[in-house]
A and B are shown apart, each in its own frame.
Chain A
Amino acid sequence: QSILLGNITKPKKNIPEGSRQCELLKQAEATLGSGNLRQAVMLPKGEDLSECIAVNTVDPFNQINTQYGTVTEFCSEASCPLMPARPRHEYHWADGTNIKKPIKCSAPKYIDYLMTWVQDQLDDETLFPSKIGIPFPKNFMCVSKIILKHLFLVYGHIYQEEAYLNTSFKHFIFFVQEFNLIDRRALTPLQGLIEKLGSKTDKCFF
């Protein structure tokens, strides 16, 4: 069982070798192989670092946004009354502007606040300019690191239920590792899974 999720969600199912599900996963792994994905996150020759970080921050946000809806049946007010964290820790929401005093809330509520906050940052033209030629602000790296750390929390809460989310999570992890965007310490709750995703021999990666 995951440290991050405790006993709140269903335990991970074992997928027997040779089963149809395992075959499908192997197929998925073949098309979305680690090699390609590792290369896909590297900074292309001559590319602007901030532009590369920006597109790789917006993509996982969009992916979580479209997929979080599919997991709401097992992440509800009743099943996840608190946003779980490390043992004896829980997350309380505060964004520093609208909500200054951290509030205790359920995981779906927390994720809702979090995603709304990230959306506001992505929509902010001064942070993520959309017009051609307008430069990124000086604090761009700092802001995107905070956003990515938040998105990591959501992955941590929802990854294990949906096989295909693992590819999304894997892509995310390769990306933050490539550019050193999330502190090693912050990644520790999911260290086991991250190591599994990174190893090439592990075909059936969940």
Chain B
Amino acid sequence: NTFPMAKLTLENFYSNLILQHEERETRQKKLEVAMEEEGLADEEKKLRRSQHARKETEFLRLKRTRLGLDDFES
């Protein structure tokens, strides 16, 4: 209990990390199910998968970069 803030930060970080990991897997499964239901062709599936992956990558990048001065209008 000597370092409550540090502990809290880490606890939050790790519960988020695990949650985000699970959510990501759920999104992937949902995509597969949706594509199956729509009866898409293999080529079409490939395209949708890569579009989905690009969105996930963009999300990772946004998550990584912190807010800077440029993010605000003066």
Q: Are A32 and B64 in contact (CB under 8 A)?
A: no
Closest CB of chain A to B57's CB: distance in Å? Answer: 5
Which residues in window 1-44 of B have CB below 8 A to A? 2-3, 5-7, 9-11, 13-15, 17-18, 21, 24-25, 28
Partner of A167, one of B10, B28, B62, B63: B10
Q: Are B64 and A66 in contact (CB under 8 A)?
A: no
Map CB proximity to B onto A168-180 as digits: 1 under 8 Å, 0 otherwise: 1001000000000
Stretch with Cβ within 8 A of B (4 or more), from A52-60, A85-93, A184-192: A52-60
Task: Write the residues of chain A forming the contact surface with B, with a CB cutoff of 8 angstroms.
Answer: 31-32, 36-37, 39-40, 44-48, 51-52, 54-55, 58-59, 63, 66-67, 69-70, 128-130, 132, 162, 164-165, 167-168, 171
Task: Write the residues of chain B forming the contact surface with A, with a CB cutoff of 8 angstroms.
Answer: 2-3, 5-7, 9-11, 13-15, 17-18, 21, 24-25, 28, 49-50, 52-53, 56-58, 60-65
Known pairs A47-B56, A70-B3, A164-B3; list 19 more (Cβ under 8 Å): A32-B14, A36-B21, A45-B28, A45-B53, A46-B50, A46-B56, A47-B53, A48-B57, A51-B61, A51-B64, A54-B60, A54-B64, A55-B61, A55-B63, A67-B3, A67-B10, A70-B6, A132-B62, A162-B3
